Amino acid sequence: MGLVTMHPRLEEPGVPDVRLRRDGRAPGWLGPVVLLFAILPAVMAVADDRLGLRLVMASLVLVVCSAAVAAVVRSRTMTTGVVRFRDTSRSLWLRPPASPSVAVVILLILLLLPAVAQGATDILGLETMPSVFVRRGPYLLAALAVGGLIAMLWRLRTAPGIEMTPSGIRGIRGVGSVNRRWDELGDVTVEPGPVARLGLAHAEGSPAFAVPFATLGSDPQRAAALLRFYRDNPSERTVLGEGGTAAVRRANDVLRARSDARR
């Protein structure tokens, strides 16, 4: 089942609007900035005559380029007003697109390359720079990459995003997991910041989850509107069992009618 993208209004009377990004712009500048870090290793990979050092520097260029691509891929998913959900007939499942996670996995795998290059340099006795940072740094990067891959595998235990069913909500990944009935869901807020986050509190007043856009995949303002609508309108929850498209359209239609009636 694919991922559906919609841009519903979901206007809530009396609820202030919170921008997805504080500056109102997507972080498209991050990729080019990251690429600047590839200049020095690229020059050394081409100009230096020590083969071992050139191998390590060339692998670092690949790593930096991959990091820049990952930054661009992530930034392009951050669209104001977007609602992304899995096309399922049983629930409204807000979830992020797979492309940012795939880009991160590729980056973590490529982080192993400098260690491979340095290992080949050590085994074959190739000439390199007599620096502890150059000789040991690649192995540290590899350790970080392995740790990152293990963490991503561990998080697979939890479904990504937030799934809304007639009985309650479940999901989230990275910042924790949640499995609550609708009557257990407390305040649903949007926390402003460089990138807005969705806040979920328990009805009994436990600390709120701060869900970032990368975990949610949807504009927190729109996600909060959907959660509040189905929390506050029990009679409407049966629509959630008809699938994401029907649930989003129903919430949008009702909220729009209420907004128009107050004008």
Asked if 178 contacts 233 with a C-beta cutoff of 8 angstroms, the reply is no
Q: What is the strand order of the sheet 209-211 is part of?
A: 185-191, 197-202, 209-211
∠ CA 15-19-23 to the nearest 5 degrees? 150
Least confident of 13-17, 71-75, 101-105, 198-202: 13-17
Q: List pLDDT tens digits, range 139-175.
A: 999 999 999 999 988 888 777 889 999 999 988 877 7
Let me know whether 192 and 104 are in one domain. no
Per the structure, the count of domains in the chain is 2
Q: List pLDDT tens digits, range 84-133.
A: 998 776 899 999 998 999 999 999 999 999 999 999 999 999 998 888 88
Q: What's this model's pTM, rounded to 2 decimal places?
A: 0.85
- Residue where a domain terminates, one of 155, 170, 194: 155
Let me know whether 47 and 7 are in one domain. no
Alpha-carbon gap, residue 152 to 215, rounded angstroms: 13
Confidence of residue 22 (pLDDT cuts 50, 70, 90): confident
Per the structure block, which two tokens stand in for 68? 């820049």
Q: What is the pLDDT of residue 167?
A: 94
Let me know whether 53 and 92 are in one domain. no
Let me know whether 122 and 173 are in one domain. no
Confidence of residue 11 (pLDDT cuts 50, 70, 90): confident
Let me know whether 110 and 166 are in one domain. no
Q: What is the pLDDT of residue 208?
A: 73
Let me know whether 32 and 150 are in one domain. yes
Residue 25 clears pLDDT 80, i.e. is over it: no
Let me know whether 17 and 143 are in one domain. no
Q: What is the pLDDT of residue 1?
A: 58
Let me know whether 208 and 262 are in one domain. yes
Let me know whether 147 and 228 are in one domain. no
Alpha-carbon gap, residue 80 to 11, rounded angstroms: 14
Let me know whether 90 and 213 are in one domain. yes
- Residue where a domain terminates, one of 155, 175, 198: 155
Residue 178 clears pLDDT 80, i.e. is over it: yes
Structural domain harbouring 142: 27-77+98-155
Q: What is the strand order of the sheet 178-181 is part of?
A: 3-6, 83-86, 92-94, 162-164, 168-171, 178-181
Let me know whether 43 and 130 are in one domain. yes
Higher pLDDT, 208 or 188: 188
For all residues of the chain together, what is the average pLDDT?
A: 89
DSSP the chain: --EEEE------TTPPP--SBTTSS--TTHHHHHHHTTHHHHHHHHH---HHHHHHHHHHHHHHHHHHHHHHHHHHH--TT-EEEE--SS-EEE---SHHHHHHHHHHHHTTHHHHHHHHHHHHT------HHHHHHHHHHHHHHHHHHHHHHHHTTS-SSEEE-SSEEEE--SS--EEEEGGGEEEEEEE-SSB-EEEEEETT-PPPEEE-HHHH-S-HHHHHHHHHHHHH-GGGGGGGGG-HHHHHHHHHHHHHHHHHHT-
Let me know whether 133 and 164 are in one domain. no
